[in-house]
């Protein structure tokens, strides 16, 4: 925001994430863990706790306990994965116990993994084997009747989801026959076709480029990251007040769904995700990746604060514009104009909104592009508190 505006307006203009509107899926992003040194920190900001109480039907104490348990599970995950070694088959937070569960393809590593504080589930395939199977499927050209495919550590399979109305199409059946030859594959069905969440120019706290409105993801030093489907490199970007912010410096879509915009002309960056007046604004303190099963919230210029669960990682989403790889799937709803917006777990940035299905009235699911690959691709540094 320009220096002559209030800080609140600056946060609205520079830190709020959202989806762009377009017919198709929406892209997404991720987070880090550098805690600020200062007074003792609450388990999460009031913004996150309030949103979790609303969207999960929890009391404040239940929300605090859930966040604390998930923070512990996130810290355990790296140690458990190291202890598992080549036997690692994936991990997730158990919905009943809130503990991290680690899949193992070799019982000899079970004691070492349990010593880290994680539970153990024996599975047939390692994560390396499942990732290799998915990579082989990624090389196939998918018809529009195939919605997505992902590694599922709980079942130790790669799950290929097809649109129910298209499951009998010859192209879909041919794709599935080829996919089954790549390794341990199971087929699921969905009634929904993924779409992006870009939007035409409307009011709110967005950024604009051409006739598209999207939302800011996370501040980085020198600019902000957002969704790649919002623009190709080069075009000018304008803020909520239509004043010039900067230009798209890099953008990739499909394949990936990420972009970054430089900030200048009197605008600045701050490590905050907006609560839109529904909840207090959320500070960003890092980008540590949350496990499957973790609580996660999203901020966007259309539907504002929404929360849900992290459902899957490393999912390939087959948009009408082409496949996007390495996406994370959530139960959080989104709508047009939310594209590019922030996904955050606790105070850790997770990713930028990419696409999904449904809306925030009847429900839906959304994918995000993890944030750390965006930072690595463009050599950017997340702006943290």
pLDDT tens by residue, 314-325:
999 999 999 999
- Please pick, among 229, 281, 304, 338, the residue that the annotation labels catalytic: 229
End-to-end CA separation in angstroms for the chain: 18
pLDDT digits (tens, 9 = 90+) for 28-64: 322 223 333 334 455 555 656 777 888 888 898 988 8
Indicate if the pLDDT at residue 16 is higher than 90. no
CB neighbours (10 Å) of residue 102? 28
- Give the pLDDT of residue 21: 42
Contact (Cβ atoms closer than 8 angstroms) between residue 90 and residue 105? no
Q: How confident is the model at residue 254 (pLDDT cuts 50, 70, 90)?
A: very high
Q: What is the largest CA-CA distance in the chain?
A: 63
Dist. CA 175–CA 172, nearest whole Å: 5
What average pLDDT does this structure show over 166-184? 96
User: Is 192 assigned a catalytic role?
Assistant: no
Q: How far is CA 249 from CA 259, 379, 383, in A?
A: 8, 12, 18
- Average pLDDT for 171-199: 90
Helix axes 46-56, 60-84, angle to 10 degrees: 100
pLDDT above 80: residue 268: yes
Residue of 339, 342, 345, 354 marked catalytic: 339
- pLDDT of amino acid 283: 87
- Beta bridge partners of residue 207, listed in sequence order: 214
| Cβ–Cβ under 8 Å, residues 18 and 252 | no
pLDDT above 90 as % of the chain: 68
Take residue 205 and report the two structure tokens written for it: 């706290």
**Section 117-122 average pLDDT:** 97
Mean pLDDT for the stretch of residues 187-214: 73
Q: How far is CA 255 from the centre of its chain?
A: 16
Q: In what order do the strands lie in the sheet with 88-93?
A: 88-93, 100-104, 119-122
Rounded CA separation 109/120 (Å): 10
| Phi-psi group of 288: left, alpha or beta (phi > 0 → left; psi -120 to 50 → alpha; rest → beta) | beta
**For position 319, what pLDDT does the model report?**
96
Greater pLDDT, 96 or 181: 181
Is 175 a residue whose pLDDT tops 60? yes
Confidence tier at 235 by pLDDT (50, 70, 90):
very high
Helix (H) or strand (E) run with residue 249 in it: strand 244-252
Please pick, among 32, 55, 205, 257, the residue that the annotation labels catalytic: 257
Q: How far apart are CA 170 and CA 74, in angstroms?
A: 43
pLDDT of residue 341: 94
- Cα gap 310→110, rounded to integer Å: 25
Strands 119-122 and 100-104: parallel
- Judge contact between 140 and 179, C-beta under 8 A: yes
- Which residues neighbour 361 within 8 Å (Cβ) at sequence distance 6 or greater? none
- Are 303 and 333 spatial neighbours (Cβ–Cβ below 8 Å)? yes
Contact 175/143 with Cβ under 8 angstroms? yes
Strand partners, 342: 299, 352
Backbone angles phi, psi at 59, to 5 degrees: -80, 170
| Coil vs helix vs strand at 22 | coil
Q: Mean of the pLDDT values across residues 141-158? A: 96
* Average pLDDT of the residues of the chain: 85
Provide the 10 A C-beta neighbour count for residue 192: 14
Among residues 385, 370, 382, 288, the alpha carbon closest in space to that of 32 is found at 288
339: annotated active-site residue = yes
Question: 281 pLDDT band (50/70/90 cuts)?
Answer: confident
pLDDT in tens, 324-341: 999 999 999 999 999 999
Question: Quick one: CA torsion of 326, 376, 352, 325, rounded to 10 degrees?
Answer: -20
**Is 304 a residue of the active site?**
no
- pLDDT, average across residues 185-207: 70
**Residue 39: its pLDDT value, please?**
40
């Amino acid at each position: 925001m320009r220096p002559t505006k209030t800080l609140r307006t600056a946060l609205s203009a520079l830190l709020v994430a959202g989806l762009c509107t377009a017919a198709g899926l929406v892209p997404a992003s991720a987070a880090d863990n550098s805690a600020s040194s200062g007074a003792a920190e609450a388990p999460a900001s009031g913004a996150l706790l309030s949103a979790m109480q609303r969207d999960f039907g929890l009391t404040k104490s239940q929300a605090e306990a859930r966040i604390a348990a998930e923070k512990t599970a996130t810290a355990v995950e790296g140690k458990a994965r190291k202890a598992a070694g080549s036997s690692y088959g994936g991990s997730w937070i158990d919905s009943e116990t809130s503990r991290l569960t680690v899949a193992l393809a070799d019982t000899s590593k079970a004691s070492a993994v349990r010593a880290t504080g994680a539970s153990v589930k024996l599975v047939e395939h390692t994560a390396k084997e499942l990732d290799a199977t998915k990579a082989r499927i990624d090389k196939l050209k998918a018809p529009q009747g195939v919605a997505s495919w992902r590694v599922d550590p709980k079942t130790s399979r790669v799950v290929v989801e097809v649109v129910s109305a298209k499951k009998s199409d010859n192209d879909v059946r041919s794709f599935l026959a080829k996919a089954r030859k790549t390794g341990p594959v199971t087929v699921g069905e969905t009634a929904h076709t993924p779409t992006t969440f870009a939007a035409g120019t409307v009011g709110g706290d967005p950024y604009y480029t051409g006739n598209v409105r999207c939302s800011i993801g996370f501040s980085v030093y020198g600019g902000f990251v957002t969704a790649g489907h919002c623009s190709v490199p080069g075009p000018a970007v304008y803020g909520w007040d239509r004043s010039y912010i900067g230009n798209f410096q890099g953008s990739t879509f499909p394949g990936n769904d990420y972009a970054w915009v430089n900030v200048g002309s009197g605008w600045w960056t701050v490590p905050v995700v907006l609560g839109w007046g529904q909840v207090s604004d959320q500070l960003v303190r890092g980008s540590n990746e949350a496990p499957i099963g973790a609580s996660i919230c999203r901020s966007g210029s259309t539907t504002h604060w929404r929360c849900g669960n992290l459902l899957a990682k490393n999912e390939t989403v087959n948009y009408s514009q082409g496949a996007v790889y390495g996406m994370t799937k959530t139960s959080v709803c989104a709508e047009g104009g939310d594209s590019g917006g922030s996904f955050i777990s606790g105070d850790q940035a997770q990713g930028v909104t990419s696409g999904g299905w449904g809306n925030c009235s009847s429900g839906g699911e959304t994918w995000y592009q993890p944030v750390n690959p965006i930072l690595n691709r463009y050599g950017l540094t997340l702006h943290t508190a």
